Chain A
Amino acid sequence: MDFRFNIILEYAPFFFKGVLWTVGLSLVGIFFGTILGLAIGLGKMVRNRLVRLPFDWYVHFFRGTPLFVQILLIHFGVMPMFTAQPNPLVSGAISLSLNAAAYIAEIFRAGIQSIDRGQMEAARSLGMTHVQAMRYIILPQAIKRMIPPLGNEFIVLIKDSSLAAIIAAPELMYWGRAMQGQYYRVWEPYLTVALIYLVLTLSLSKLLHRLERRYDA
């Protein structure tokens, strides 16, 4: 088997641009997914069933249907309602954020509800308000427990951003497919792309590991 390093070199500038978009998409997804996820997670903890319902169904929908389908629906269905020429990067970022939010909502909810009820009771019995008890007692303990599953979700998000290639968002996977199409070669583009994703996810997991250890100390 010959392996043509020269065509990888030729595509290096495109891969570089692609990586930047992949990182960009992932960061946007992590940022908005986390904010939206926190809001939805809190919404899911409301006692009133009617208020809770839309939040429940949000999670059901985005967790229960493939991200692939969601990207197509959003890019070709939802976005054209707002703009004549949907930008695939914007569609990708929105899809990733909405999808991640569903998983992150569950991580937040599980983290908060995993804290023993006695903690809230003790805080309230000392005269703290619900908000004070959350801020000083519940959340500091819950966040520590949320770091590992959140890290997991962020890694999934980096990998899932490759699905945006299907709507021609010029991220890493898009250039891998372009290279494959131009040269009819399999190993060079896809191994290169795989290796770059691996570097990205390993770096993130290293970073999260450090954060986890610092919280533990």
Chain B
Amino acid sequence: MIRVTNLKKSYGSLQVLKGINVHIHEKEVVVVIGPSGSGKSTFLRCLNLLEDFDEGDIVVDGFHLKDPKTDLNKVREEVGMVFQRFNLFPHMTVLDNITLAPMKVRKWSKEKATEKAMQLLVKVGLQDKAHVYPDSLSGGQAQRVAIARALAMEPKVMLFDEPTSALDPEMVGEVLAVMKQLAKEGMTMVVVTHEMGFAREVGDRVLFMDGGVVVEEGTPQQIFDAPQHERTKSFLSKVL
């Protein structure tokens, strides 16, 4: 589904990604963990080219992102993204937030887009919030709407960039529950998170990143119960 080869990126003289190689399969849930500044968010944002990269190659659903012939908008239609700070559109109702892209990008009819949106709102447990504006939602509700908004495009892959980091602790669970459900339904997911419980329970594979490289990867059992590298051990000892 996604193949990343020798991905490198620098901000000025600071190299934040130093050659990443990852292959993400269909229906796989890959969780990326690591300390702040390890490059995990930058890595994720490269996958739909919200962040440009300097070297290497990323192939998403058969499209080489750096190929000038690739229509990036077409690729992004298939790659949903959920942000740390939700980024809901504040001037639109929840329903309009969800239906806008399907109508303008996928050219769906209003009826079709609304029907899909209502299904998704039921799925994330917010059907009664369809006609309110985002500023009246709690953080957890806003993030569930953001997930519904991304899913409305019927993407093949979902990217999650620290989706629970901006939430009050009591709201983390409701967002993770939606993500768990999504994983169970077979969605291909790449999740950058600090929620180790989620990584262990839902992840098919865990990548530990530090200093711009993937230091160690494996099943949650391998990473959490028997980490091989010193850096992995030291990180896990601090967060577990």
* A interface with B by C-beta (< 8 Å): 116, 118-119, 121-129, 132, 136-137, 140-141, 144
Contact = CB atoms under 8 A, between A and B. Distances in A.
B89 A124 contact: no
Nearest to A116: B87
Contacts of B89: 119, 122-123, 137
B52 interface: no
| Candidate in A122, A125, A144 with the most chain B CB atoms within 10 angstroms | A125
Given A122-B89, A144-B91, 6 more contacts: A116-B87, A119-B87, A122-B146, A125-B79, A126-B149, A128-B73
Contacts of A125: 48, 50, 76, 79-81, 150
A119 B92 CA distance: 12
A126 B87 contact: no
B68 interface: no
Nearest to B104: A132
B101 interface: yes
A25 B43 CA distance: 55
A26 B73 CA distance: 43
Contacts of B83: 118, 121-122
Interface string B139-167: 00000001001100100000000000000
Contacts of A123: 89, 101
A216 B89 CA distance: 15
* Shortest 10 CB-CB contacts between residues of A and residues of B: A127-B77, A122-B87, A126-B101, A118-B87, A125-B81, A127-B105, A127-B76, A127-B73, A140-B91, A141-B91
B25 interface: no
Interface residues of B, number: 25
Contacts of B87: 116, 118-119, 121-122
Contacts of A119: 87, 89
B91 A124 contact: no
B41 to A, nearest CB: 12
Contacts of B88: 122
A116 B83 CA distance: 13
30 contacts: A116-B87, A118-B83, A118-B85, A118-B87, A119-B87, A119-B89, A121-B50, A122-B83, A122-B87, A122-B89, A123-B101, A124-B50, A126-B76, A126-B77, A126-B80, A126-B100, A126-B101, A126-B105, A126-B150, A127-B73, A127-B74, A127-B77, A128-B73, A128-B101, A132-B104, A132-B105, A137-B89, A140-B91, A141-B91, A144-B91
Contacts of B153: 126-127
B107 to A, nearest CB: 11
Contacts of B197: none
Contacts of B73: 124, 127-129
Nearest to B84: A118
